[in-house]
Structures are given as C-alpha cells and as structure tokens.
Amino acid sequence: MARVALVTGGTRGIGAAISRALKAAGYKVAASYAGNDEAAAKFKAETGIPVYKWDVSKFDACAEGIKKVEADLGPIEVLVNNAGITKDVPFHKMSLDQWNAVINTNLGSLFNMTRPVIEGMRARKFGRIISISSINGQKGQFGQVNYSAAKAGDIGFTKALAMENAKGGITVNAICPGYINTEMVQAVPKDVLEKAVIPQIPTARLGEPEEIARAVVFLASDDSGFITGSTMTINGGQYLH
C-alpha cells in the first residue's frame, strides 16, 4: 500500500515541487492550499493530485480538512508543513495584524496540522513530519521580525516533538531553504537579485524548488529513520549553520 502524504501550501512554488516529487516516489499525495483557486485547479489538472482548500491558521479548519483527506486517501503518514506567508515591514511600523497573521500561518499551523495526525502516527508506530522553515529563521532578516520569529519557532517545534516521538517510529525534521527560484523570489526586481541577493550565495545561483523537494522525499523515506530533530540547511552556502 502506498503511503499517504499531505503537503500544505502544496499547489504552488516549493510546495508544488514537493507534491510532484512525492507522487513520483510512489506516495498518495494530497495538497492543501489557502486561496488561489485558479492555481490549484491548474495544478490538479496537470498532476492528478487531489487538492483541498482550508486555512492552516485555523485549528478547526485543519482538523476538518484532514478528516476529508483521510476519508479519501487513508491515514496520513507523511505530513509536510510547507504553507507560509510574508508580511514584511520594519518592526517599529508592524501592526498587530501583520504579526498575528504571519505567526499564526507560519508557526501556529504546525500545531494545527500536526496535532490531528500525531495520535494516529503514534498508534501505527510510523510517521514523518517535515516542516519547511527558512534561512531567515536561522539568521534573521531586516523587515521580517514576524517571519523570522515564526520560522525559528518551527525549528524549536521540530526539536521538541522529535524528542517526544523518537521511540515510536516517528521522525520530525525541518528544512531551511535559502533563496529559491519561485514566484515569490522572482517578484524581487531583477537588478536587486543580481546585485544584492545572488552575490551573497557562494554557489552564485538561486536554488530550485526541486532541490528542496528531493530532500523532503529522502526525509519521508524509510531510509531516513535514524534522522530526527535535525535541521537540513539548503541555501547554497549563504549561511553556514
């Protein structure tokens, strides 16, 4: 029986690459998304991967969405917490809404998504929980106090949950991508990318979404069973941690 994998934010960018790679590796994949119906429909048509719409910052929505996925595909054995947003502004100008939106989506979602599946994983003695953090959760970033705090929190969540579940066949790991060639990064003006961003990266290029996806496939596999509580840094050498 193919294992079931759920990828949040799984229809665009890094999430879409993860969803495709897991399907290619033989998983039954479900992809959740928040709001872009057009992109989700296009992704579903291209890949055949079922898509589900809910807000990962809301616990009840996650619990209900997970029930639907499990009714359609079976128990979730691999959870990829990939969904995230940015609301960048210097902290002295940051509103409470900008703080809460990023914390609730990028960090709160790890509780909202993982809590409904962890008991089943514990009962079955198998689980893979992989959360996509960020280079900026490791080193901080101007204008991203909310985002950096949330992504650093993802790493702490990973370490503690890994300790609690290590004996039960459940691994919990984080991946910290650097600058990846997605729509979000391509929205940065080209001259800024070429003059300010890429010169900071020793490999002298952006990463590709598929490079993150390959790491997720490995961490989801049986071969990675001795790796838990780890933070995999994939940033072209930009920040050595």
Residues recognised as catalytic: 147
5, β-bridge pairs: 29, 78
CA distance 128 to 26: 15
Q: Which residue, 101, 149, 151, 42, is CA-closest to 16?
A: 42
Query: In 3-state terms, what secondary structure has residue 39?
Result: helix
Contact 22, 34 (CB under 8 A): no
Q: Which residue, 155, 203, 157, is CA-closest to 179?
A: 203
CA distance 44 to 33: 12
How many Cβ atoms are within 10 Å of 122's Cβ, its own excluded? Answer: 16
CA distance 4 to 27: 6
Give the type of residue at 157.
Answer: F
Residues 209-222: b if buried by 16+ CB within 10 A, e if exposed: bebbbbbbbbbbee
DSSP run (H or E) holding 150: helix 145-165
Residue whose pair of structure tokens reads 């939106």 in the numeric block: 101
CA distance 154 to 199: 28
